[in-house]
A = this chain, B = another copy of it.
Amino acid sequence: MAAKKLTIKEIAKLSGISVSTVSRAINNHYDISPGTKRRVQEVIDKYGYVPNNSARNLKLNDARNIAVLVKGITNPFFTGMLKVFEQECTSHNYSLVLEHVEESQDMTEIAALLEKEKRLNGIVFLGGNPILSSERLKRLAAPYVFCSVAVTDRKKFSRYAYVSIDDRKEAEVVTDYLIGCGRKRIAILCADERDISIGSLRLEGYLNSLKKHGIEADPELICRPENVEETYTLENGYQSTMKLVKSGAKFDAIFAISDSIAIGCLRALRDCGIEVPKQVSVVGFDGLPIGKYLVPSLTTLKQPVEEMAEASMKELLAMIAERDRKEEQPSSENKKTAVNIRKYQQIFSGTLQERESCRKES
């Protein structure tokens, strides 16, 4: 009755075989006879033995852990990615360590701690701003990849692997589109002034487009959240729009820098008796699945989330493999510098999905 802990030693005893042979059987070593292997397997199955990962990790110095550090876990934009990360980890026999990072926290700091604590094999930085302590980053032993982090300055990122879209360009596409639809007074629901992440990039794209078309940017139409905890939320979209309407500013289109903001915006316009797209066109950003089902359905710039998540994982796994290879045959070169050497950088393209919230007639 005493629930004796099942260890490899126990299994060895029960099967009348030495621990080393049992270990060989478990790990599919080449130098083991099919017969003994089968015998060991039978005992293992019978008692339901599962090796202790902690011991294994300690010995192998490999925990097979991949961490995903995400800023804003409730952001639906990340939800679709999370599933991909989880699947990729599982299929490659890694565990996914999910860590939510507060808005105010430094991702690199948490990563540094986590890396040592959990012996991470790799790290995905998901979302957030590009305030990177390159000092700390340099010290990370594990390969890492930035996914959907605002690449404000490519030079600054030149040493890192990242997967993202070109926020500036895509925001310009969106604005171009609105202008092409005949809109002249385009408001933007953007981020806080202190934002130095995708918020500022998308604003830049908007401004670039206006400039290109000879339209002067009107400060009245640049709406920033006030006293709002989180930018990319329904509530912020609602409040910002309300404020815009109440300001009395004239506008015939609104560019919301995320779909969540756009959805809140649509509701606010409705509450103000403003018809979409008859009086005002609205465009979102992200391409959340729900956009298609809204009334009116939401014109938006779709990001290829699954593909981006897949690309991130693929690259991370490749970097991990590369590093393992390097470590096996240590050459004269310094290992440290070789870790993130691939510098894989992929900018995905978004696609504008034209739907009801935007009217084309000028």
A residues with CB within 8 A of B: 1, 3, 6, 48-55, 57-58, 63, 73-74, 76, 79-80, 82-83, 86-87, 90, 95-100, 112-113, 116-119, 139, 141, 234, 237-238, 263-264, 266-267, 270, 289-290, 292-295, 297, 334-336
Contact = CB atoms under 8 A, between A and B. Distances in A.
B51 A54 contact: no
- Give this chain's copy count: 2
Contacts of A74: 79-80, 83
A290 B293 contact: no
Contacts of A76: 76, 79
B295 A234 contact: no
Given A73-B86, A90-B99, A237-B293, 4 more contacts: A52-B58, A54-B55, A54-B119, A234-B292
Residue in A95, A113, A270, A293 with the greatest tally of chain B CB atoms within 10 Å: A293
Contacts of A295: 266-267, 270, 294-295
Contact of A297 (B49, B119, B267, B336): B267
Contacts of A119: 52-54
Contacts of A263: 290, 293-294
A171 to B, nearest CB: 23
Contacts of A50: 113, 116-117
Contacts of A80: 74
A267 B267 CA distance: 16
B95 A96 contact: no
A82 B244 CA distance: 34
Contact of A267 (B48, B96, B293): B293
A30 to B, nearest CB: 24
A12 to B, nearest CB: 17
List 6 tightest A-B contacts by C-beta distance, closest first: A50-B116, A54-B57, A267-B293, A54-B58, A86-B100, A98-B98
A360 B95 CA distance: 51
A118 B95 contact: yes
